[in-house]
Amino acid sequence: MEQPPAKILIVFPKSGQSCEVDYDDTLVDATFRYDLPIRYRCERAVCTTCMTEVLEGLENLSSPNERETKTLKTVGAAANYRLACQCSVYGDVKLDYIPITDPRRKPVSSNDNPL
């Protein structure tokens, strides 16, 4: 059986920030520890503040749970977008945080807002 990597590299190419974390760390834990450019609020897959584009390594994140899947579908997120508050890392990833005002986010009607 293959051993998990000793250290996992998280890179934000646009800002040049990076850090090394342990296998199964969460992106929110890494953000808190290394001041990564991800903002978050609810940590419950509700507010979408933490929406992040996965540029590389989508397969190296934990699978979306039911709540994350529902929220991402509600806001019409692209297939490579994840809610960082729900992700554990199992291998190297390259990420780009999507601020709440970023035009890459699709506008949603007030009826669709998961809040």
Q: Which residues bind ligand FES (CB under 6 A)?
A: 40-43, 45-50, 83, 85
Closer residue to ligand FES, CB minimum distance, 42 or 58: 42
| Shortest distance, position 6 Cβ to ligand FES, whole Å | 28
Closer residue to ligand FES, CB minimum distance, 8 or 85: 85
The C-alpha atoms of residue 50 and residue 6 are separated, in whole angstroms, by: 26
| Shortest distance, position 104 Cβ to ligand FES, whole Å | 16
| Shortest distance, position 3 Cβ to ligand FES, whole Å | 30
Closer residue to ligand FES, CB minimum distance, 12 or 40: 40
Strands of the chain, DSSP E: 8-12, 17-21, 51-56, 81-83, 93-97
| Shortest distance, position 65 Cβ to ligand FES, whole Å | 12
Residue 86: partners with Cβ closer than 8 Å, 6 or more residues away = 45, 62, 64, 65, 67, 68
Residue of 93, 86, 44, 85 lying closest to 63 (CA atoms): 86
